[in-house]
Chains A and B, each alone.
Chain A
Amino acid sequence: SQTIHQWPATLVQPVGSPLSLECTVEGTSNPNLYWYRQAAGRGLQLLFYSVGIGQISSEVPQNLSASRPQDRQFILSSKKLLLSDSGFYLCAWSGGSAYEQYFGPGTRLTVT
């Protein structure tokens, strides 16, 4: 069966510091991968998605970037964090011709 992992689970970082969040998927190949952010416990906003290695689409202009160095690895980065980057970051995957998405456990980021 497929599983999705995210780490770290929680992170507290000062303003201006770099960021790297990692997401990996097991049990499937060539998944579609997604990064979402959830602020204030309500709706999720799609940040990036990827249909293959090195293929990244950005949905929202922001201080963040994404990379997919391996088939089942998706990384969310920032060179300099802002206070507004605080939130709950979720990674998701979908496979094949079905677009049903499955979510990881998330990373709670606090920028101080």
Chain B
Amino acid sequence: GIQVEQSPPDLILQEGANSTLRCNFSDSVNNLQWFHQNPWGQLINLFYIPSGTKQNGRLSATTVATERYSLLYISSSQTTDSGVYFCAVEEGGKLTFGQGTILTVHP
């Protein structure tokens, strides 16, 4: 099956810093989603982005499907951005998740 790798596995930032999270996948995919898992376990949809670039406030994402990677940018990070960020690729209606990036933002 398809492999999904996320980097870095852990990231520690000071409030106000910018960061880039990466997601590599091993084969062509139909779609890609980015999620934020909050401390209570809820998975929050950030982006549904099979290709191109999307922005939502301080967050933006870019997927280059031909090169099999996606990037999530977080600007001016806040403590509420802390949690685990997952990318997941869709093939045949099913999602395969990466192992996530644990982000900790200190005040």
Contacts and interface: CB of A to CB of B under 8 A. Distances in A.
Interface size class of B (residues with CB under 8 A): 20 to 34
Contacts of B96: 46
A46 B2 CA distance: 13
Nearest to A88: B41
Interface of A: 32, 34, 38, 41-46, 49, 51, 59, 88, 90, 94, 98-103, 105-106, 108
A44 B33 contact: no
Contacts of A59: 94
User: DSSP class of B's interface residues: helix, strand, loop or mixed?
Assistant: strand
Interface stretch (B63-71, B73-81, B97-105): B97-105
B41 A108 contact: yes
22 contacts: A34-B95, A42-B84, A42-B99, A43-B86, A43-B98, A43-B100, A46-B94, A46-B96, A49-B93, A51-B93, A59-B94, A88-B41, A98-B48, A99-B30, A100-B45, A101-B33, A101-B88, A102-B45, A103-B42, A103-B43, A105-B42, A106-B42
A32 B45 CA distance: 17
B90 interface: yes
Interface in B15-51: 30-31, 33, 35, 40-43, 45, 48
A105 B16 CA distance: 29
Contacts of A98: 48
